[in-house]
Amino acid sequence: MANDEAALAATHAPQADRLAEVRRAGALPQLRYLLRSMRPRQWTKNGIVFLALVFSVGQDYHLSEPSSWVPRVLQALVAFICFAMVSSAEYLVNDINDVEADRAHPKKRYRPIAAGLLPVATAWTAAAVLALAGNAAAFALNWHMGLVVFGYTVLMLAYTYELKHIVLVDLMVIAAGFVLRAMAGALAIDVPISPWLYVVTALGALFLGINKRRAELELLESGASSHRKILDEYTLPLLDQMGSIVTGALLIAYGLYTFTASGLPANHSMMLTIPFVLYGIFRYLYLVNVKKEGGSPEEILLKDLPIMVTAIGWVTTAGIILLFARS
């Protein structure tokens, strides 16, 4: 508890009040702070594992035959849970490693570890348990997916301790993490997935990563490097140029995917989903550049009504097309 006091002394009074509350309430608040540090809102990123399940409907299984799709849904759900556990472990390790930088951030200083409300020892123990459980469950499902989840775990550890400090590589690693999620989703249910979908996934992750860097750079201004050293290597004009390239490539790749990928309806009806993708990208750019949001893409997905409606519209339209328009 002495370490908690030292941490809070470096911040400000409201955090001291919260530590007093934790002392009065006992151990239960630590569980709450642990869950918060696991960042369940960011589990939405792991929804990528369901892409293979969605795009194989009507081809590798049919909804009229529960025996063909129920096992696949359960397998995809296990893949999602594996990534939720492993990614939460990575968030805990990241918060431990970045504790000093987070205390200099206007928002991240309220994270439980940075605020001294969650002991580092507790966070380390939880991270180890989550990582081991996530990898064990992945290998139990099938060894191919287990290797992907293990590779993701190693990659994210390398990112936390070294790769996030290398300009451009930090963004590439983020994209690779999303591609591994998509790959694991396909391996979990044992179906092929179009290479176009991997390309779109990687470009989409780069799009979000670049705009997140831009939002951080603009929010923190001169204090950016004290939070994330790599921000010294980026400028707003550079990120804008990179964003323009990736945005154009993402739109072209998704458009090509809708009418060239094998397994999609031969009448190219999947192109009807392009407007949803186009609007979603433009809406996100509007939020980043005009509303000065975008530091946390998962929060935008859960809070911005137009983005939510667009996502639901895309899922609904794609689902109807894949169910009824396959040749």
In this prediction, residues 255-262 reach a mean pLDDT of: 88
- Kindly report the backbone phi and psi dihedral angles of residue 75, in degrees, each rounded to the nearest multiple of 5, phi listed first: -65, -40
Mean pLDDT lowest among 15-19, 138-142, 153-157, 187-191: 15-19
Q: Which residue, 282, 325, 274, 272, is CA-closest to 304?
A: 282
Q: Quick one: pLDDT at residue 295? A: 63
pLDDT bin (cut points 50, 70, 90) of residue 65 is confident
CA distance 202 to 173: 10
Q: Which of 3-12, 59-68, 255-264 has the highest mean pLDDT?
A: 255-264
Q: What is the pLDDT of residue 16?
A: 52
Predicted TM-score of the model (pTM): 0.84
Q: Phi/psi at 126 (nearest 5 deg)?
A: -65, -40
In 160-214 the beta strands, taken as DSSP E runs, fall at none
Burial class (CB in 10 A: 0-12, 13-18, 19+), 234: buried
User: How many residues does this entry show for the chain?
Assistant: 327
DSSP H or E segment with residue 227:
helix 224-227
Per-residue pLDDT at 53: 86
Residue 259 has pLDDT above 80, yes or no: yes
Question: Would you say residue 3 has pLDDT above 50?
Answer: no
Q: What is the pLDDT of residue 24?
A: 53
Per residue in 260-312, pLDDT (tens digit) is: 887 788 888 999 999 999 999 999 999 988 887 766 777 787 789 999 999 99
**Most confidently predicted of 231-235, 248-252, 314-318:** 248-252
4 confidence band (pLDDT: 50, 70, 90):
very low
In this structure, are residues 288 and 234 in contact, taking their beta carbons and an 8 Å threshold? no
Give 106-149 pLDDT, tens digit per residue.
777 888 888 888 888 899 999 999 999 999 999 999 999 999 99
pLDDT of residue 28: 72
Q: Which of 36, 68, 61, 98 is nearest to 230 (CA)?
A: 98
Dihedral of alpha carbons 57, 62, 68, 70, sign: positive
Alpha-carbon torsion 177, 182, 186, 192, what sign?
negative
pLDDT of residue 17: 58
Task: Tell me the average pLDDT of the chain.
Answer: 85
pLDDT at 74: 93
CA distance 126 to 27: 15
Give the angle 205-171-78 at the CA atoms, nearest 5°. 50
**10 — pLDDT class (breaks 50, 70, 90):** very low
The whole-number pLDDT of residue 11 equals: 45
Of residues 62 and 115, which shows the higher confidence score? 115
pLDDT band per the 50, 70, 90 thresholds, residue 224:
low
Q: At what angle do helices 66-97 and 28-37 cross, to 10 degrees?
A: 100
Integer Cα distance of 320 and 102 in angstroms? 44
Sequence-ordered list of residues with C-beta below 8 angstroms from that of 283, at least 6 positions apart, any chain: 304, 306, 307, 310
